[in-house]
Amino acid sequence: MLLVNTIRENFEQVLEGLQKRNFPHAEAALHQVLELDKKRKETQTERDNLQAESNSIAKEIGMLMKSGKKEEAEKIKSRTSEIKSQVKLLEDAYNNIEEDLKQILYTLPNVPHYSVPKGKSADDNEIVLEHGSIPELHADKLPHWELIKKYDIIDFDLGVKIAGAGFPVYKGRGARLQRALINFFLDEAMKAGYIEVQPPILVNEDSGYGTGQLPDKEGQMYEATADKLYLIPTAEVPITNMYRDVILNEAEFPIKNVGYTPCFRREAGSWGAHVRGLNRLHQFDKVEIVQIVHPDRSYDALEDMSSYVQGLLQKLELPYRVLRLCGGDMGFTSALTYDMEVYSAAQERWLEVSSVSNFETYQANRLKLRFKGEDKKTQLAHTLNGSALALPRIVASILENNQTEDGIKMPKVLVPYLGFDMI
Residue stretches of the annotated binding site for L-serine: 234, 265, 288, 385
Residue type, 400: E
> Rounded distance, CA 127 to CA 411, Å?
26
Please count the other Cβ atoms lying within 10 Å of the Cβ belonging to residue 62.
11
User: What are the backbone angles phi and psi of residue 2, rounded to the nearest 5°?
Assistant: -70, 150
- Sheet containing 202-204: give its strands across: 202-204, 229-231, 223-224
Binding residues are 234, 265-267, 288, 352-355, 385
Sign of the four-CA dihedral 83, 88, 90, 94? positive
Closest CA to 135 of 316, 306, 277, 310: 316
Angle (nearest 5°) at CA 18 between 360 and 333: 35
Binding residues for ATP: 265-267, 352-355
At a CB cut-off of 8 Å and minimum separation 6, what does 347 contact? 143, 144, 273, 396, 400
Measured distance CA(109)–CA(21) in Å, rounded: 9
Other Cβ atoms within 10 Å of 188 Cβ, number: 19
